[in-house]
Structure 1
Amino acid sequence: MANETSRETGLRGVLSLPQIVSLYIGSVIGSGILLVPGLVAEKAGPASLIAWLVMSILVIPMAITMGLLAAKHPSSGGVSHFVRLAFGDHYGNMVGWLFLLSVPIGGPVLAVTGARYVAAVLQWGEQQVYLVATMILLVPLLMNIIGLKLAGRVQTIVITLILSVLLLAIGAAIPHYAPANFTPFMPNGWLSVLQSAGLLFWCFIGWEAVTHLSAEFVNPQKNAIRGVMWSAGIVALLYFAVAFMTVATHSYGRDLSAASLSVMVQKSLGPIGGWIVACAALFICFAAHNAYSSAASRIAFALSMEGAAPKWFGILHRTYRTPIGGLAFIGAGNILGLLVLYNHVISLSDLIVLPNATFVATYIGGCLAGVRLLRDSRVGKVAAWISLIVTLGLYPFLGWSALYPLAIVVILTVSRRRKLGKAELTG
């Protein structure tokens, strides 16, 4: 273990269990909770709740796999560190880059999604949307310069607000519950339920992100698995409750599905419900970006320490000992992503599939590492195999976006061979 932690003596253990749980929840609950319940209800009807239940169960092995790996091998390298231990430096660095190149693209998608919910209430135009989006991106980066202790505390407050708002939304919908909304139960057949389960996978991606912060956990051997189990339970219950009330109040269909949460809340609270959802969207997107920017800056630091990324990626702040080089890279990528979206070079729906694909590829690498590294744990071994089968089964259905991780792998492989060739010539 000494060899694993010796490279990370510059990072401090500052994250307590409540902050770990908050970071996990923030990384998993993204904009999907605002969109997906209505979309899958429209696709599969009330039977979509079967898909929610199945995915809520399947997500537990994924969470356990990442939690056990983080507890056994805490490192700012996260999943890339696990893959490095299992298969060597080249594959570890490859997975690290897959994760790192997801966040500068995913950040703008989150920020613009949250900003548009706020803009819809205030009737703002595109310029105001992107101004708010810029703030959603920059504030977490600035907090992370000061350190994870501050970022963790703010995350705990934000997650508390998110949970409060979503619980209020669920409670407000209860008076409009109607048993008739559950019939017909399966209007579009079993195939629609299976298709919904595939779509729901996106709502549960995020367990890999916080593993990159495990070197800064207080007592990671205990708190890593505790944190992931608490957050997995909370996330599964919250998602299912929102999905159940979406169906129970029939807050979907026609033009309602994309804003089902807002429709559901406004049935009891009227226009104030729009404000509630706007606040929830803002908090959710802020929390997710906070978790992912924290994680990505640590993987940038770890890759730099391995010599697999530019040296400036590994620059730490003199006072706070935070990876400002990695944060600078993420910030630059975020701004570039916003400019691309603002100038309509690519649409939001087309951009979002790219980080989704790299996250799935990252999961595949982490699950493969779990199969090898958790062989001495019966629970860990079973969890890793189940997670691997689920993620491998999903990958062919990613469509054209599946080429993005493959392109990254090809570029890294060619670059490595060139370096080895030059080393042989100079040697």
Structure 2
Amino acid sequence: MSMPSGHKQGLREVLSLPQIVALYIGSVIGSGILLVPGLAAELAGPSSIVAWLAMSILVIPMAITMGLLAARHPSSGGVSHFVKLAYGARYGNLVGWFFLLSVPIGGPVVAVTGAQYVGVLLHWGSGQVHALAALIMVVPFVMNIFGLRLAGSVQTVVIALILAILLLAIGTAIPHYDAANFTPFLPRGGFSVMKAAGLMFWCFIGWEAVTHLSAEFVDPRRNAIRGVLWSAGVVALIYFAVAFMTVATHSYGDGQSAASLSVMVHLSLGPVGGWIVAVAALFICFAAHNAYASAAARIAYALAREGAAPRWFGRLHRKYRTPIGGLAFLAAGSAIALAVLYSGVVSLAQLIELPNATFIATYIGGCLAGVRLMRDYPLGRAAAWISLVVTLGLYPFLGWSALYPLVIVAIVQVWQRRRTSAVPAGLAPADPAKPDLPASHS
């Protein structure tokens, strides 16, 4: 097992298997389950369930790749640590920056998505919606100051509530099942199924996030892969069940596809169904932001230890040993992104394209690392190759947002050059994780 220097002096191993599973599920089941089943059904009709089945199978190699890498090389650096081991610090740190700069943009998008479900029911204006979004973001930041034992425990309860609500939605829709809704099965041709599968990929992003918490797993070699397999099964079943019942009840089309879950629940529960979905939306978005805030704060910590980010990113809380420097950076970046959304300069749909690009770039790096690091494990290497082909095939379809990772590369290179020129010759970068430096103080 590979373990970074100073690990035992820094982050603590506190996450048990149920908490690991909850964090995985929370990072993968995001706002996509509120939007994509209806949109995919509108795009491909009943045949969209074939795409759901295919994506549920294809995502298993991706989950296994990340789980195996986390089990073999637990580190707060996550995917960037894997890339560093395989290809060197330069590329590993760049992948770390890809992930780190995804979260301050993606977090506000997720929070606003959840807040909008409540805003619609209460007829709120933009200011009230964004105020609730700010609260959704602030709570995970505060919880993470007190450590992953608290954040992981809360996540476990939240995920249980989310699954209960989703199972309620599926169960109440069963009496409205109508086989006639599956004909014609392929109304728009086979290409529409491929387009729907591409849309669904975004529902399965998230396996990379929890790898950044692997240094705090209890028995990571055993629990990382068990956690990813349990959560992959739960996620695939939930997504497929929601998508299947969306088609079976024809809860899509006529301008209601983006709210298909609400439409489906409304069939049996009436207006109260809207509130059930709104509660689910809040829980889902909170869980996703909690998982990503935890992960991103730790990649900031790891980058600072490598000398690849400002030293204050590596500050740890004196008592709780949590990465408050990284949390402060994420909070500041998220506040800026939320303000931009509130101003109306960009829309949610436009802003989400940027973190999508960096997440895909992160996956590509992780899969490449898996191919090299698991040469001695044929099953793991095969999973990495399959995942690499899937992610590389998607990247050209990102459009202009595919340039965002390149912009990050340029920014990091400029910062590194300025930092190098400011350090006198012969002096090594300080390690912010050492007890006598600011990283260990509040």
Calculate the TM-score normalised by the size of structure 1.
0.98
- Match of residue 128 from structure 1: 128
Question: Does structure 1 residue 151 correspond to structure 2 residue 151?
Answer: yes
Q: Quote the offset at 1:410 in angstroms.
A: 2.7
Q: Spell out the pairing of 1:149-228 with structure 2 (5 A cutoff).
A: 149-228=149-228
| Distance in 2 (alpha carbons) for counterparts of 1:392 and 1:413 | 24
Q: Quote the offset at 1:407 in angstroms.
A: 1.4
Q: Spell out the pairing of 1:228-377 with structure 2 (5 A cutoff).
A: 228-377=228-377
Q: Quote the offset at 1:2 in angstroms.
A: 6.5
Q: Per-residue CA shift, 1:348-404, capped at 9, x if unaligned?
A: 110011101100000000000000001111110000000000000000001111010
Q: Is the 8 A contact 1:25 1:231 kept in 2?
A: yes
Q: Supply the AA of the counterpart residue of 2:168.
A: L
CA 136–6 in structure 1, closer or farther in 2 if over 3 Å, else same: same
Q: Which runs of 4+ in 1 moved over 4 A?
A: 417-427
Paired residues in the alignment total 427
Q: Spell out the pairing of 1:394-405 with structure 2 (5 A cutoff).
A: 394-405=394-405
Q: Is the 8 A contact 2:162 2:284 kept in 1?
A: yes
- Match of residue 73 from structure 1: 73
| Distance in 2 (alpha carbons) for counterparts of 1:19 and 1:363 | 23
Q: Per-residue CA shift, 1:297-336, capped at 9, x if unaligned?
A: 0000000000000111000001100000000000001111
| Distance in 1 (alpha carbons) for counterparts of 2:242 and 2:158 | 19
Q: Is the 8 A contact 1:5 1:75 kept in 2?
A: no
- Match of residue 59 from structure 1: 59
| Distance in 1 (alpha carbons) for counterparts of 2:387 and 2:418 | 35
- Match of residue 432 from structure 2: none
| Distance in 1 (alpha carbons) for counterparts of 2:67 and 2:271 | 41
| Distance in 2 (alpha carbons) for counterparts of 1:106 and 1:17 | 27
Determine helix, strand or coil for the equivalent of 2:251: coil
CA 325–416 in structure 1, closer or farther in 2 if over 3 Å, else same: closer
Q: Quote the offset at 1:414 in angstroms.
A: 4.4
- Match of residue 408 from structure 1: 408
Q: Per-residue CA shift, 1:77-100, capped at 9, x if unaligned?
A: 000000000000100100000000
- Match of residue 439 from structure 2: none
CA 322–419 in structure 1, closer or farther in 2 if over 3 Å, else same: closer
Q: Supply the AA of the counterpart residue of 2:96.
A: G
| Distance in 2 (alpha carbons) for counterparts of 1:124 and 1:382 | 50
Question: Does structure 1 residue 105 correspond to structure 2 residue 108?
Answer: no
Q: Supply the AA of the counterpart residue of 2:353.
A: V
| Distance in 1 (alpha carbons) for counterparts of 2:2 and 2:241 | 44
Q: Quote the offset at 1:263 in angstroms.
A: 0.2
**Long gaps (5+) in structure 1:** none
**Long gaps (5+) in structure 2:** 428-442
Report the identity percentage. 73
Q: Is the 8 A contact 2:2 2:73 kept in 1?
A: no
In angstroms, what is the RMSD of aligned CA positions? 1.5
Q: Per-residue CA shift, 1:32-86, capped at 9, x if unaligned?
A: 0000000010000000011100100000000000000000000000000000000
| Distance in 1 (alpha carbons) for counterparts of 2:158 and 2:336 | 27
| Distance in 2 (alpha carbons) for counterparts of 1:5 and 1:421 | 27
| Distance in 1 (alpha carbons) for counterparts of 2:3 and 2:44 | 51
Q: Quote the offset at 1:125 in angstroms.
A: 1.4
| Distance in 2 (alpha carbons) for counterparts of 1:216 and 1:353 | 31
Q: Quote the offset at 1:192 in angstroms.
A: 0.5
| Distance in 1 (alpha carbons) for counterparts of 2:253 and 2:79 | 39
Determine helix, strand or coil for the equivalent of 1:4: coil
Q: Supply the AA of the counterpart residue of 1:13.
A: E
CA 144–193 in structure 1, closer or farther in 2 if over 3 Å, else same: same
- Match of residue 140 from structure 1: 140
Q: Per-residue CA shift, 1:87-138, capped at 9, x if unaligned?
A: 0010010000000000000010000000000111122111211111011000
Q: Quote the offset at 1:215 in angstroms.
A: 0.3
- Match of residue 379 from structure 1: 379
| Distance in 1 (alpha carbons) for counterparts of 2:141 and 2:413 | 31
| Distance in 1 (alpha carbons) for counterparts of 2:297 and 2:375 | 30
| Distance in 2 (alpha carbons) for counterparts of 1:99 and 1:418 | 22
CA 418–146 in structure 1, closer or farther in 2 if over 3 Å, else same: closer
Q: Quote the offset at 1:418 in angstroms.
A: 5.7
CA 88–135 in structure 1, closer or farther in 2 if over 3 Å, else same: same
Q: Per-residue CA shift, 1:226-268, capped at 9, x if unaligned?
A: 0000000000000000000000000000211010000000000
Determine helix, strand or coil for the equivalent of 1:207: coil
Q: Supply the AA of the counterpart residue of 2:98.
A: L
| Distance in 2 (alpha carbons) for counterparts of 1:392 and 1:141 | 33
CA 424–60 in structure 1, closer or farther in 2 if over 3 Å, else same: same
Q: Supply the AA of the counterpart residue of 1:27.
A: S
